[in-house]
Amino acid sequence: MTSPLRTPLHDEHVALGATIVDFAGWEMPVRYTGDIAEHTAVRTAAGLFDLSHMGEIAVRGTDAEAFLDDALVGRMSAVALGGAKYTMMCAADGGVIDDLIVYRRDWDHYVIVANAANKDVVLDELFDRAEGFDTDVEDDSAEIALIAVQGPRAQGIVMEMTARGADDIEAMRYYTAAHVLLEGDVHAFVARTGYTGEDGFELFVGADEAAAVWRLALAIGEPHGLIPCGLSSRDSLRLEAGMPLYGNELTRETTPFDAGLGRVVAFGTEKNPRGDFVGRAALEAARDAWKASEEDGASHARRLVGLVGEGRRAARAGYAVLSPGGAEVGVVTSGAPSPTLGRPIAMAYVPRSLSEPGTRLGIDVRGRTEPMTVVALPFYTRTA
């Protein structure tokens, strides 16, 4: 049996009294002080997350942009230097292999961040798809630590952490990145990205410098209300923000269109055409089927919706969604109590005929039907 992996920050988590769990083959902190406290800190001040279990894959070479345009559903050649893009890798049949964020660090150098559980699959697919392109694909995960500062006070905290580059942090737009020098002479690639629904930054640093950066963030951030946060609060934060989780909302059996994320697939236009890419034909068919179901009102086509409960019992992934008449019509993909809303929330796939906001449905919560109402996603949107 393979032992769980540990991030470069494992000892820091243990010293802080974190509860450690096995997650995607990694020993990761699920919580420190408590789920609600950590969730609330990110919504009101700032939270510090260890994301070093994620995969970092470098793509370099003269054909790097052409290769990624072929391998992924997004148009990576359109990403500016210092830019980032949310995208997906799909199979030939249109199923989602993983959802990714791709950063352009140089004209011939991209970094792909893959989900921890899917890193090896994504890496193998990239190796296979790189045939015929002048490009190198390399797994840099072991050399890179990824630390996130998320919340309304994140910008000020990260600016204070920098020895050089604070102006770049302040000027940074969402989904852009810059090279900065942190206190302690640590070189970092800092991106204004995150998975919480709040403003925030993700810092790519050398694995051997991770502990120093973590301690720096705590020392500077704690007076501003920053606390370390675990996987549990990260999940409730992303759920409130309506962000999909691979293995829940996204799987090999779903296309981006099923999840309401068809916008991430770039087919090109008459004025700005795009060539072939892996999964294009299947995704075109999925797009056309989606459009047809909207036009003819097909009741069988499924939709990913938000659900808000009336009681206190939360729906969980895998629970059955019930029609007003009690028939099973769908399945919950993610569910939890919402600290921000004070009510249970969930995402679920249901038939199109039951997907309109205001529709009342039920969830089978351990043999008892809990009433829930369909709402538009996301559940929570930050105001500034």
pLDDT tens-digit map of 61-92: 999 999 999 999 999 999 999 999 999 999 99
Report strand pairing: 226-228 vs 46-50. Answer: parallel
CATH number, span 5-52+143-240:
3.30.1360.120
- The CA R_g of the chain, rounded to the nearest whole Å, is 21
pTM of the full structure? 0.96
Task: Indicate the pLDDT class of residue 301, thresholds 50, 70 and 90.
Answer: confident
Q: Any idea which residue has 């999909």 for tokens?
A: 244
Q: Residue 64: helix, strand or coil by DSSP?
A: helix
Which residues partner with 138 through β-bridges?
A: 58
Task: Give the contacts of 327 (CB within 8 A, at least 6 positions apart).
Answer: none
Domain ranges of the chain: 5-52+143-240, 297-384
**Mean pLDDT value across residues 265-278:** 94
**Mean pLDDT value across residues 234-255:** 98
pLDDT score of 347: 98
- Residue 173 scores a pLDDT above 90: yes
For residue 107, the Cα-to-chain-centroid distance in whole angstroms is: 25
pLDDT score of 87: 98
Contact yes or no for 172/192 (Cβ under 8 A): yes
Least confident piece of the model among 90-94, 294-298, 311-315, 363-367: 294-298
**Mean pLDDT value across residues 177-199:** 98
**Mean pLDDT value across residues 307-311:** 93
- Residue 150 scores a pLDDT above 70: yes
pLDDT score of 300: 63
Residue 223 DSSP class: G
**Inter-CA distances, 294 with 289, 358, 380, Å:** 9, 18, 26
**Inter-CA distances, 154 with 29, 161, 202, 220, Å:** 21, 11, 10, 11
Task: Indicate the pLDDT class of residue 2, thresholds 50, 70 and 90.
Answer: confident
- Residue 47 scores a pLDDT above 70: yes
* Domains 5-52+143-240 and 297-384 are alike in CATH topology: no
pLDDT score of 246: 98
pLDDT in tens, 312-359: 899 999 999 999 999 999 999 999 999 999 999 999 999 999 999 999
Burial class (CB in 10 A: 0-12, 13-18, 19+), 347: buried
Q: pLDDT averaged over the chain? A: 96
User: Quick one: which of 379, 317, 312 has its CA closest to 348?
Assistant: 317
pLDDT in tens, 112-140: 999 999 999 999 999 999 999 999 999 99
- Residue 298 scores a pLDDT above 70: no
Among 2.40.30.110, 3.40.309.10, 3.30.70.270, 1.20.120.80, name the CATH number for the domain at 297-384: 2.40.30.110
pLDDT score of 293: 84
